[in-house]
């Protein structure tokens, strides 16, 4: 007999809030993160009720994504183009339904402003690094440690890690002499110079960082074959926001291999230069 083998509620509205539906969709994915379009699909495929009035509920859904801190937007990797960013669950929000109700939580999941700002910076930094990794090829730098090696490594993506210039991150331009990128300068334990701290977000990006990109390691169970990596020191948020070095990078490579079991573990000062990559 025609029976919706699914866990379908037929045309009745499922007893789930948009937040729980979205969380389900995200959590059901291998990488624990999905673009908006896939969230829509997950819902419409399972719940016939949502095959109607799409304009209405999808607008509400989107409203939820950006309004609730439990959802974080992760920039799409340039080598995997598509529309929109990926949406993931904030690790600290994984238990937001512990009270049992998928209709209404006891309290909203909200981050303190300070945490929200940190998250914002981190994502900016990662997106920034992401850009470098996939920056269009350019004449080699005298000092580029691994431009050549970089292009022959991972995947089939056209990778080039040459400096991107003229990519201004913020308003207040800061004139500074370009100097060659050196591992030493990035991992050196000494303080990032007086002016650094407060001006990180307003410096033109001019230096090539190590080849890296971000992914969502919340789903990683073991060091990924093609990425060595370092857990971002300020990866307060996503156990998952991990910087994956695409290839062994002199001076950087696995000071601390990715350990899915210990995500977010503080590492070195390698990423001291974030949130904005700057000439050093």
Q: Would you say 82 and 76 are in contact if contact means Cβ atoms under 8 Å apart?
A: yes
Report the C-alpha gap between 54 and 253 in whole angstroms.
47
> Does 37 sit near DNA (CB under 7 A)?
yes
Q: How many residues bind to DNA according to rule CB under 7 A?
A: 29
Q: Nearer Cβ to DNA, position 126 or 280? A: 126
Distance CA 171, CA 229 (A): 32
| Alpha-carbon span 170 to 202, nearest angstrom | 5
Shortest distance, position 18 Cβ to DNA, whole Å:
4
H-state helical runs in the chain = 18-28, 36-46, 54-67, 113-133, 147-151, 183-187, 196-199
Q: Is residue 62 within the footprint of DNA (CB under 7 A)?
A: yes
Which one of the spans 64-72, 138-146, 185-193, 207-215 is the region binding DNA (CB under 7 A)? 64-72
Under the criterion CB under 7 A, does residue 57 sit at the interface with DNA? Answer: yes
Dist. CA 74–CA 100, nearest whole Å: 28
Nearest CB to DNA, comparing residues 60 and 173: 60
Q: Which of 65, 159, 205, 258 binds DNA (CB under 7 A)?
A: 65
80 binds DNA (CB under 7 A): no
- By C-beta, is 100 or 136 nearer to DNA? 100
How many angstroms separate the first and last alpha carbons of the chain?
A: 70
Instruction: Please pick, from the candidates 103, 174, 222, 226, the single residue that binds DNA as defined by CB under 7 A.
Output: 103
Question: Among 6, 52, 63, 179, which residue sits at the site for DNA (rule: CB under 7 A)?
Answer: 63
Q: Is the dihedral of CA 263, 265, 266, 267 positive or negative?
A: negative
Q: Is 18 among the residues that bind DNA (CB under 7 A)?
A: yes
> Judged by CB under 7 A, does residue 111 bind DNA?
no
Which tokens is 99 given? 């009270």
If you search the block for the tokens 């926001």, which residue do you land on? 241
d(CA 3, CA 210): 55
108 binds DNA per the rule CB under 7 A: yes
Q: 132 vs 54, 190, 208, 276, CA distance in Å?
A: 38, 25, 7, 11
| Of residues 47 and 181, the one with the C-beta less far from DNA | 47
Instruction: Kindly state the smallest distance separating residue 87's Cβ from DNA, in Å.
Output: 7
Q: Of residues 73, 77, 118, 131, which one binds DNA by CB under 7 A?
A: 73
Nearer to DNA, 23 or 280 (CB): 23
What b/e readout covers 254-268, taking b as 16+ CB neighbours within 10 angstroms? eebebbbeebbeebe
Q: Least distance (Å) from DNA to the CB of residue 83? A: 5
Residue of 12, 28, 101, 180 that binds DNA (CB under 7 A): 101
Binding residue for DNA, selected from 12, 28, 54, 66, defined by CB under 7 A = 66
CB atoms within 10 A of CB 145: 19
Q: What is the binding site for DNA (CB under 7 A)? A: 17-19, 35-37, 56-57, 59-60, 62-68, 73, 83-85, 87, 101, 103-108
């Amino acid at each position: 007999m025609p029976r919706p083998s699914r866990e379908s509620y037929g045309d009745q509205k499922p007893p789930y809030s948009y937040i729980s539906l979205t969380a389900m969709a995200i959590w059901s994915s291998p990488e624990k993160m999905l673009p908006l379009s896939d969230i829509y699909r997950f819902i419409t495929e399972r719940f016939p009720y949502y095959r109607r009035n799409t304009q209405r509920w999808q607008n509400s859904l989107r409203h939820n994504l950006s309004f609730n801190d439990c959802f974080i937007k992760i920039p799409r990797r340039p080598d995997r183009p598509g529309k929109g960013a990926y949406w993931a669950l904030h690790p600290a929000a994984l238990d937001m339904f512990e009270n049992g109700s998928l209709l209404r939580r006891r309290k909203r999941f909200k981050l303190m402003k300070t945490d929200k700002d940190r998250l914002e910076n981190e994502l900016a930094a990662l997106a920034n690094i992401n850009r470098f990794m996939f920056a269009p090829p350019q004449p080699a730098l005298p000092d580029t440690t691994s431009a050549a090696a970089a292009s022959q490594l991972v995947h089939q993506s056209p990778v080039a890690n040459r400096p991107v210039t003229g990519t201004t991150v913020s308003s207040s331009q800061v004139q500074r002499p370009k100097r060659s990128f050196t591992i030493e300068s990035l991992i050196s334990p000494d303080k990032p110079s007086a002016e650094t701290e407060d001006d990180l977000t307003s410096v033109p990006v001019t230096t090539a960082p190590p080849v890296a990109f971000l992914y969502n390691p919340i789903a990683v169970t073991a060091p990924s074959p093609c990425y060595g990596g370092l857990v971002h020191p300020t990866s307060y948020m996503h156990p998952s926001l991990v910087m994956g070095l695409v290839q062994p990078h002199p001076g950087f490579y696995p000071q601390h291999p990715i350990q899915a079991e210990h995500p977010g573990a503080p590492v070195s000062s390698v990423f001291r230069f974030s949130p904005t990559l700057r000439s050093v």
